[in-house]
Amino acid sequence: MGASMRPFFVDMPSSVAIYTLGCRVNAFESACIADSARLAGFDVVDWQKGADIGIVNSCALTTLAEAKTRQEIRIFARKNPQSKIAITGCYAQTDPESLKLENVKWIVGNKSKADIVNIISQDLQNEMQNDFCNVLLEKTSAPDLSACGNSALSDRMNLKIQDGCDNACSYCIIPRARGVPRSMDFDDIVGNAKNLVERGVREIVLTGINISKFLTTKGGLVEVIDALNEIKELVRIRIGSIEPPLLPLEAILERAKDSSHKLMPHLHISAQSFSDVVLERMRRRYKASEFLSMLEKCVSLCPDIAVGGDIICGHPAEIQSEFEKTKAIFASSPMAYMHVFTFSPRPKTLAYTMRDVPPVPERKARADELREVAKEVKMRFVKSQFGKKRKLLLEHQISSNTYLHIPIITFQLLFRCLKKV
């Protein structure tokens, strides 16, 4: 990130707290911002404890996420009346005017997110008198955020490999916030992974806005998985949420099935609906039959794989019969779980202008009904694993550099233990 050390004679705020909303990409980027802040000489402290400077890494996926962003800003300002607040992330990119709230000094869009610590440091050092600094857009893009610190991290971390999306789904504002698809440099990804592992990370989740679009001159998703597989101290690799179609599916399943490979037998593939009518209105680029064919290939080539996804209930054009179709297909599918969302019209998206939106009570009722089905589906998958043996990675250290490993345990015993916790 290139943040410079602060001169010792400059009387500046010394502590920074970071609050993260939204996706795994934001989580990784916040960790990188924390690294940059430490290198610049700031103490990074817990958000709840308060700080001289608060950095909010915002989300704009839903109006609820935006409301949560504004709420956290106000709470932080009340608890820390002398603080200065910086806002970055997708909400800062899509609607900066609504973020000019109490104590907010900087609004930094996604294109400048990698420079946010530099922006704050230079502004403070120059003792600028402006009440507000808006760094929303730049003519040239800032470098990618990267893991550059040496502080200890949790056992499981996200690793960003890609940014941006051009699918233009009817309900989604993220392409407006994140821009066109672009992949991180292959060697930088491996370097970031090694940095994370050196700091105690044992499981890495590959993430991006649309990692189906990941491609570099040195290879794509399969090649980066294989490169990470060579990192000695890394125990597990997991693929984050992914958009269909997943083109290198067979190669990924081959590795997930191989017990000697670190890739976990797990995929989270966004479904959104199993009705072709609704999928077309959503501007999704596949039919329900194509998704189901992909799902069948997963379970046939990699037995016991856990495949989950997302479904939106109540999107425009979803009448009761289309919802029932989605529910029936999901209930009979070999999926392991499903995240269920209630459609909420998002300003600045195509779906916001669409007609035939089911009433709010109907949307919520459908989502509640599907969540009950999802519980049954998840339990069915869990029971299918009873009596089988699996390797575990327990995500808590006993002491420095010492991990408790239970190499093999029956899934049924594990499930019973977890139910008692």
Paired sense of beta strands 215-216 and 219-220, if any = antiparallel
Q: Would 63 be classed as within a structural domain? A: yes
**How do residues 44-79 score in pLDDT, each as one tens digit?**
999 998 899 999 999 999 989 999 999 999 999 999
Q: Would 212 be classed as within a structural domain? A: no
Contact (Cβ atoms closer than 8 angstroms) between residue 289 and residue 327:
no
Q: What is the pLDDT of residue 142?
A: 57
Most confident of 123-132, 144-153, 252-261: 252-261
Distance of alpha carbon 390 from alpha carbon 410, whole angstroms: 6
Six-digit token string for 16: 């920074």
* Host domain of residue 28: 15-135
**How do residues 5-36 score in pLDDT, each as one tens digit?**
444 334 566 899 999 999 999 999 999 999 99
Coil, helix or strand at residue 58: strand
Q: Would 406 be classed as within a structural domain? A: yes
Q: Would 42 be classed as within a structural domain? A: yes
pLDDT-derived band at 144, boundaries 50, 70, 90: confident
Choosing from 135, 151, 180, the residue where a domain stops is 135
Q: Would 184 be classed as within a structural domain? A: no
Q: Would 277 be classed as within a structural domain? A: no
Paired with 410 in beta bridges are 389
pLDDT > 60? residue 402: no
pLDDT-derived band at 124, boundaries 50, 70, 90: confident
Classify residue 12 by its DSSP letter: -
Choosing from 91, 107, 135, the residue where a domain stops is 135
The number of folded domains in the chain is 2
Choosing from 70, 100, 135, the residue where a domain stops is 135
pLDDT > 60? residue 252: yes
Give the CATH number, domain containing residue 87.
3.40.50.12160
pLDDT > 70? residue 290: yes
Distance of alpha carbon 7 from alpha carbon 126, whole angstroms: 12
Q: What is the pLDDT of residue 33?
A: 96
State the chain's mean pLDDT as an integer: 88
Chain position carrying tokens 């990130």? 1
Mean pLDDT in residue range 125-133: 62
Q: Would 37 be classed as within a structural domain? A: yes
Q: Would 413 be classed as within a structural domain? A: yes
